[in-house]
Structure 1
Amino acid sequence: MMNLSNKMATLLLLTSFTVSGCGASGVVKPTDEQNAFASVAGLGDLAADDESFAPAFVAGSVPKNRKDYSERGYEVAGDATFDRDTVTVPVKIFGRVHATTDSERRGGKTSKVSETEQIWTLIRVADKWKIKDAPLG
């Protein structure tokens, strides 16, 4: 299940790909900022399994506690700072994300994590923003 910030990031990316209007047509390339923000906002969904989670990170930077990342939601909480192929992003990390697996639903589990804000670092690797450092708090 996608949380509101993930839905917003997905919608932003989808709407940035096409331009419509009087006589305008074509594809618009998303900005670096949009791509970096999508990498942050989508991490909760990607953390559902190793095959999706690991590629979101720079090689050698994949956290061992993937489950902790899957129990939280993420949204950009301010202005990003770009320095060539590196960006630092203030990220709001929130808990109480609803259960996503059948066994969690039967048990009525939700995450009990409080809200925090951290600074994450992303690196551009082959024209994609990958997470280098993503502390949870």
Structure 2
Amino acid sequence: MKLKRLLVIALSLWLVPLVGCGGSATVKLTEEQNAFASVEGLGDLAGDDAMFASAFVAGAAPENRKDYGERGYQVAGVPTFDGDSVTVPVKIFGGVYSTSSRDGRRSKASSVTETEQLWTLQRVDGHWKLKDAPLG
């Protein structure tokens, strides 16, 4: 009985790496997914000057970083790709907690009204960066 149990355990340990969960597999994101991530993660990046600036093409980061941290962003339609440029309709909404506080404390949820804007991204060294991201 003990030998049978040991064989089952040994077989299980041998099969787990073969079946596994694909931990070593590399996931290739599509161009669209990469562009969407650049848009939808902007509110979180607004909590830090350097991270916020890195989301934009050099020199294009807006001065009002705090305003970006008080909003949420969602891709609201089909992007239009044109080479190394893409235009994305973005839904901008309030009701989120600001991430731009220096001491890490959350402020009260913003009461910004919902709007939709067209944002432009540009591929820089293989990464999508915001070129124009108006709030409204």
The answer (yes or no) to whether the contact 2:69–2:98 under 8 Å persists in 1 is no
Q: Report what 1:29 is aligned to.
A: 28
Distance 1:118 1:56, change over 3 A: same
Distance 1:103 1:58, change over 3 A: closer
Larger Rg: 2
Q: Report what 1:53 is aligned to.
A: 52
Distance 1:103 1:78, change over 3 A: closer
Distance in 2 (CA, whole Å) between partners of 1:45 and 1:56 is 11
TM-superposed CA distance for 1:60, in Å, is 1.2
Distance in 2 (CA, whole Å) between partners of 1:103 and 1:44 is 13
Distance 1:119 1:33, change over 3 A: same
Note the alpha carbon deviations across 1:14-50, whole angstroms, 9 max, x for none.
Answer: xxxxxx99x9x73231111000000000000000110
Q: Report what 1:93 is aligned to.
A: 92
TM-score by length of 2: 0.76
Aligned length: 113
Which 5+ residue runs of structure 1 have no aligned equivalent?
1-19
Q: Report what 1:75 is aligned to.
A: 74
Q: Report what 2:105 is aligned to.
A: 102
Distance in 2 (CA, whole Å) between partners of 1:122 and 1:66 is 18
Q: Report what 2:111 is aligned to.
A: 112
Alignment identity in percent?
A: 69
Q: Is 1:64–2:67 an aligned residue pair?
A: no
